[in-house]
A and B are shown apart, each in its own frame.
Chain A
């Protein structure tokens, strides 16, 4: 395992396609991206997160000629692409030296195409999930990328475990969980069982109720939540793994990361 999975992995959301102030948002993206890299963390760029049509991380890196430094950049890649666009993204990653991918099934949208099994030369499967996409990348781009996968402790445990084993068989090298608050026993079991780096996801928004859909039950809007305290607890509870920071506030929270001293 060549990567430094112990550093902070900080999510950077690319601008949406319909942004009216596109240039402003692209500049902001570039500034945040550089800030993450300058701090010695890994910039993790989402792929049409929540089904919102956004620009690809690799194309913004190319357009803005942003630096890529070994394991300091990670691109999310999901199954809602045409085969041509999928290969264009992967080739663009190779050209720019991006080695780390988080391979996920992803969120759809009526405008997004969806990879078909025949696109990836597969027979006998009804749809393309993260497993099939991972198999394809490892087959067609063998040894080029370090591929991670997602783990959802809020799904039925047995099914999620089975999926995880398939992902590992398909060549997953690291795992990032869905957001967990302080600790999670199902994640604990996963860490004890598998021999891969597991990064736990910290929810950095104060609006905890936004996680309701993810965890599968209603979290009241007025729930008090201190993301920085939760981050500290996660670090204390999971000292041997890394932390992935989602929905981070760059104005108020970013500078606190160095004080927390994970990097």
Chain B
């Protein structure tokens, strides 16, 4: 089985801020890490490779420093990494990004399965995984919470949705996005980490990918951010209930009821 896991390098979650002029995330000068949801996608790729054999490739689009995230993935158990990097690719929205990633997947060739985390914690759109499937013309299963059965040509999956979960059967090739219920990601070993520092990372630019210039970068991105603002602070305050536990419980019920009536 040839598996591609898409990973993204994101800012530490507590350090995200937005450039007031460009309305884009400020990524310079902040600590970076692998998108936490992608660690579950990576672990699932490793588990499938351990079961079926084959090759696991990690794919990312971003600046050169995104190599670190690819190396971390290799330290965990991926075989090799591909970075899509080039100035014209910068500023891509989720539509353009998923197009560029799909071009990378086509160039890798003969891929059976693409796995993504459910969303990236910096953008929070959850659009890139489904976008890749749309660009490739492959079936997709999103919000996968459990791998029930995994065969060479077909997967049986539990997926979450607004009203619960259902079982889905998907024929390969396919694209999945996974939730954190799906597994427990492993921590890289020292051996893995040392190995990952010696592996060459493949870097492809827009020419290698044969992308349509009209579909990449800022110019190829239909998204327009008109304005951004911080959400209003929530109205919260603390009430300390004094007295016995039963008196406090009665008082709490009274407060909750009055709030519900409001």
List the B side residues contacting A63 at CB < 8 Å: 190-191, 194
Interface presence of B189 (CB below 8 A):
yes
Interface presence of B250 (CB below 8 A):
no
| Closest beta carbon of chain A to B67's beta carbon, Å | 12
A: which residues have CB within 8 A of B? 17, 22, 26, 53, 55-56, 59-60, 63, 82, 85, 110-113
List the A side residues contacting B219 at CB < 8 Å: none
Q: Known contacts A110-B36, A111-B39: does B191 contact A59 (CB below 8 Å)?
A: yes
Query: Is A17 a contact of B191 with CB atoms below 8 Å?
Result: no
Q: Known contacts A22-B197, A110-B36, A111-B39: does B184 contact A82 (CB below 8 Å)?
A: yes
Query: Is A22 a contact of B185 with CB atoms below 8 Å?
Result: no
Query: Is A82 a contact of B36 with CB atoms below 8 Å?
Result: no
| Closest beta carbon of chain A to B76's beta carbon, Å | 11
Query: Is B190 a contact of A111 with CB atoms below 8 Å?
Result: no
Q: Which of B187, B188, B189 has the most CB of A within 10 A?
A: B187
List the A side residues contacting B190 at CB < 8 Å: 26, 55-56, 59-60, 63
Query: Is B187 a contact of A22 with CB atoms below 8 Å?
Result: no
| Closest beta carbon of chain B to A201's beta carbon, Å | 27
Instruction: Please tell me the size bucket of the interface on B.
Output: 10 to 19
B: which residues have CB within 8 A of A? 36, 39, 184-191, 193-194, 197
| Closest beta carbon of chain A to B14's beta carbon, Å | 12
In Å, the complex CA distance between A218 and B39 comes to 37
In Å, the complex CA distance between A82 and B47 comes to 15
Pick from B185, B191, B194, B197: contact of A111, CB below 8 A: B185
| Closest beta carbon of chain B to A117's beta carbon, Å | 15
In Å, the complex CA distance between A111 and B39 comes to 9
List the A side residues contacting B193 at CB < 8 Å: 17, 22, 55
Query: Could you write out 13 A-B pairs with CB less than 8 Å apart?
Result: A17-B187, A22-B197, A26-B190, A55-B190, A59-B189, A59-B191, A63-B191, A82-B184, A85-B186, A110-B36, A111-B39, A111-B187, A113-B185
Report the nearest B residue to A19, measured CB to CB.
Answer: B193
List the B side residues contacting A59 at CB < 8 Å: 189-191
Pick from B39, B185, B188: contact of A17, CB below 8 A: B188
In Å, the complex CA distance between A171 and B190 comes to 31
List the A side residues contacting B36 at CB < 8 Å: 110-111
